[in-house]
Amino acid sequence: MISVGLIGCGAVVHELYAKALIGRSAYKVCFVCDTDPTQAASAAVLFGAEAVSLEVLAEKAEAIIISTPPATHAALVRACLQPGRTIICEKPYMTTHKDAREICEESHAAGASLFVNHFRRVFPQLELAQELVGLGVIGEVTGFRASEGGRFIWKAVSRYTTRDPAGGVLWDTGSHTLDMALFASGLDGSPDMGVEDVRVRRDKSEPSHDFRADFRLSVDGRGVDGRVHVSRKEALPNLVVISGTGGQVAFITGLDDRVRLTTATGSTVLHAERPYGHFMECFDIQFRRILLADRAGPMAAENFAGQIKLIETLTNA
Amino acid sequence: MPSHTDPSVAIVGAAGFVGRKLLRQLEERDISATAIVRGLPELSVDGDFHGACSAALALAGEGFDVVVNLAYPTSGSPYEYPAQDEAIARTVHGLVKGGGRVIQASTLAVFGLALDRQVAPGPVPKVRDAAYVESKLLAESLLTEQQAKRGLALDIVRLGNVWGAGSGSWAQPLVQRLITGRPVGVTGAPGYSNTTDVANVAAYLAFLIQDGRREPGVRYHHLAEFSYVTWSDWADPIAAELGIEAVCADPSVLEMPASGVQELVEALAPLGPRTLYQRMATERTAGSWARTLVRHLPSPARTRLKTGPFFADEPDLDRAEQSFLAIMAGRQEFTSVVDSAWKPVLTEEESLERVLLWLDGG
């Protein structure tokens, strides 16, 4: 059985991870730590784990899940790098492209396996959309637009979402939304893509709660137009639309199993082979794939450097 | 005592879709208002203008001349809604000054989600209905009781289906349904949308705040300036913008139980022999009993048990889906009954234009 250590015992751990990590035969949360002893003690009871210091956890746990505010990720991943260790970092992966690139390299050099917790990558509609685009069904990708917004109800214990410059809606919700667009477009494997012609509108300085941007990505010598709008204040269409030279695919951002495919011959809705009943199933699948080394590829950290570059560039615009 | 032009105003539930727009309208009219919100004010309302605060903090103050209540139960289990309604009513009661005015945002749904009861601008008796409907009816009733006891001015503003750019209840579901190929209407039954744009809702509430009326009594308003617009009038242009065709459901989806007894019979139907056997068969001991029992059944009954159905199959559409489509096919118009001096700020064309802009991310 793989011993898992949890660094950060906030809302995501108590409300989501607990349901996906308790009672599994192949892995068990054995160690937890948090800067707030109350949170650590609560998680320890929840998981039947031992509340320990960061140093002890980094020494003893075979696999480590980091679910702390984004600004702390770089230092914590570095503190956990060990040969043969699996590390899962909560999204957003890093807050700078420089860290995103360097830590991937450091992880490889240390012999550790580093992943990012982007559980939406197992959403059936996203897997199907990525497959369709990859097959060339819509030709070469020329652009995408993505939106996601609604009343913000997540209660981060650390309150980083209103205090930390990397806690704004683009880093938080937007990292999910943009990842869906980049993953489906097949652009997530371009860590050094150019981000140009950036135009941004936001409600306030970071951490902002309503953020929209138009931009152009430069990938392998071709341009891809992007548009994103994310909001904690108003409902948005919650759609991702990928356009190509031969058509487009569109899907909703919530858990679903349908993709709309539109080409010159018409428009139709395709269903993924395997629908899921609940999004918690996606957390479960993600942890299984990563911890048991079963189809973890899409979650490997190197797939997220491009996303961080895009978010960082938009944030700083 | 403040003059009619500058009453002290509190907006309960100011962080919602209507609340935000109302605060903006008030700001444009230079009317000061206090936003009563749950959670973090920073995430709830824009800017510092409204001095957002919790209900507890506001209740410690001297009270308000006008209290607009936009809050209603939105979380927790539906069986908790009555308690939440009572808590909201207590807050409103605590906030409004003697001789003050309460403006209660209610809904056309007090006449049924699909508007299947007779519409009239007056009191509506309590009936058994969906949790949301019962909750809204209870809220009207609680505030009416307060009005009678304290001699307040009470305006019950029953809103049509609040749509517009950023509408999570109507615009967003229409878009998502269109993209995923789910029906947005019923063939041969183009229902009245009975809609009101959120900008017009905010403008009307602001108008009422400004009109200065304080005479004790209950006044009923119905606001749905686009009541005559059919759902397909909204959905078709959105579909065209998305480059797709809207799908309609077969009229048979509207066949729902007509009474509580029929609902109970339908709810118990899955407990029929076949379902019971399938459920028991997976159990260790009960499965053994079930198999023994089945072995003693006459052959025709055994065949029916295997191939079913003993009772009608479960419907392909769940009840929420049916309710949505029933609203899309609603044939009763919820005509506006508003102050004759008020005019909407947004036309049908402008409303649609804003939704299409919102759709495009602009």
Q: What is the CATH number of the domain that holds A55?
A: 3.40.50.720
Mark whether A66 and A131 lie in a shared domain.
no
| Pairwise CB contact (< 8 Å): A162 & B42 | yes
What lies within 8 Å, CB to CB, of B170 at 6+ separation is B161, B162, B163, B195, B234
Assess whether A130 and A147 both reside in one domain: yes
Residue with tokens 């509609």: A125
A23 and A85 both lie in a single domain: yes
A183 and A305 share one domain: yes
Of the candidates A85, A71, A61, A83, the residue with the CA atom closest to the CA atom of residue A7 = A61
Q: What is the pTM of this model?
A: 0.88
* Amino acid occupying residue B86: E
d(C-alpha B360, C-alpha B350), whole Å: 15
pLDDT tens for each residue of A87-115: 999 999 999 999 999 999 999 999 999 99
pLDDT (average), residues A300-308: 95
- pLDDT score at B45: 59
Average pLDDT over residues A156-172: 82
Domain boundaries, chain B: 9-165+192-245+331-350
ipTM of the complex: 0.89
Q: Please name the amino acid found at residue A45.
A: V
Q: Is A265 on the interface with B (CB under 8 A)?
A: no
The last residue of one of the domains, among A118, A148, A176, is A118
Alpha helices in A2-72 (DSSP H): 11-12, 18-21, 37-47, 54-60
Residues from chain B contacting residue A236 (CB–CB below 8 Å): 166, 172, 358, 361
In terms of domains, do A9 and A113 share one? yes
Of A71, A86, A118, at which residue does a domain stop?
A118
Residue A286 resides in a domain: no
pLDDT cut 90: percent of chain A above it:
77
| Residue B315 per-residue DSSP state | P
- Inside any domain, residue A295: no
Q: Is A39 contained in some domain?
A: yes
In a structure prediction context, what are the per-residue pLDDT tens digits for chain B, which is 362 residues long? Answer: 444 457 899 999 988 899 989 998 998 888 889 888 876 666 565 555 566 777 777 777 788 999 999 999 987 778 889 999 999 999 999 999 989 999 999 999 999 998 989 999 999 998 888 889 999 999 999 999 999 999 999 999 999 999 999 999 999 999 999 999 999 999 999 999 999 999 999 999 999 999 988 899 999 999 999 999 999 999 999 999 999 999 999 998 888 777 888 777 777 777 777 777 777 777 778 878 877 888 788 877 777 666 655 444 444 568 888 899 999 999 999 999 999 999 999 999 999 999 999 998 75
Q: What is the DSSP letter of A16?
A: I
Lowest-confidence region among A163-167, A222-226, A238-242, A287-291? A163-167
Measured in angstroms, the CA of B144 and the nearest CA of chain A are apart by 30
Show residues of chain B in contact with A162, CB under 8 Å.
40, 42-43
Is the Cβ–Cβ distance between A284 and A275 less than 8 Å? Answer: no
Q: How far is B215 from chain A (nearest CA, A)?
A: 36
Mutating which of A234, A261, A265 best tests the B interface, going by the most B Cβ atoms within 10 A? Answer: A234
Chain B residue numbers with beta carbons less than 8 Å from the beta carbon of A262 are 243-244
- CB within 8 Å: A252 and B180: yes
Instruction: Say whether both A161 and A310 belong to one domain.
Output: yes
Amino acid letter, A114: L
pLDDT tens readout for residues A232-260: 888 999 999 999 999 999 999 999 999 99
pLDDT at B1: 41
* Position A109 in a domain: yes
Q: Both A173 and A305 in a single domain?
A: yes
Instruction: Check whether residue A28 and residue A87 sit in a common domain.
Output: yes
Sheet holding B153-159, edge to edge: B34-36, B9-12, B64-69, B96-107, B153-159, B217-223
Q: Is residue A37 assigned to a domain?
A: yes
Across the interface, do A234 and B180 touch by the CB < 8 Å criterion?
A: no
> CATH code at A141?
3.30.360.10
CATH code, residues B9-165+192-245+331-350:
3.40.50.720
- Residue B158 has what pLDDT? 98
Same-domain pairing of A74 and A130: no
Nearest residue in A to B39, CA atom: A153
The domain containing residue A268 runs over which residues? 120-277+301-316
Portion 244-263 of A in contact with B at CB < 8 A: 250-252, 254, 256, 258, 260, 262
Is the Cβ pair A258, B168 closer than 8 Å?
A: no
Tokens of A59: 């020494």
* Total number of domains in chain A: 2
Contact residues, chain B, for A147 at CB < 8 Å: 361
Which one of A233, A235, A252 has the shortest CB-CB distance to B167?
A235
| Residue at a domain's end among A118, A141, A160 | A118
Q: Does residue A294 lie in a domain region?
A: no
What is the nearest CA distance from A99 to chain B, expressed in angstroms? 29
Pair A159, A244 in one domain = yes
Best to test chain A binding among B162, B174, B175, B179 (most A CBs inside 10 Å):
B179
The reported pLDDT for the residue numbered B307 is 62
- In angstroms, what is the C-alpha Rg of chain B? 25
Q: Which among A205, A211, A210, A212 is positioned nearest to A165, based on CA atoms?
A: A205
Residues A107 and A144 in one domain: no
**Which positions in chain A touch B181 (Cβ < 8 Å)?**
258, 260, 268-269
In angstroms, the CA B313 to CA A219 distance is 52
| Alpha carbon distances (Å) from A172 to A18, A112, A307 | 21, 26, 12
Q: Which residues of A205-219 are buried (b: 16+ CB within 10 A; e: fewer)?
A: ebbbbbbbbbbebeb
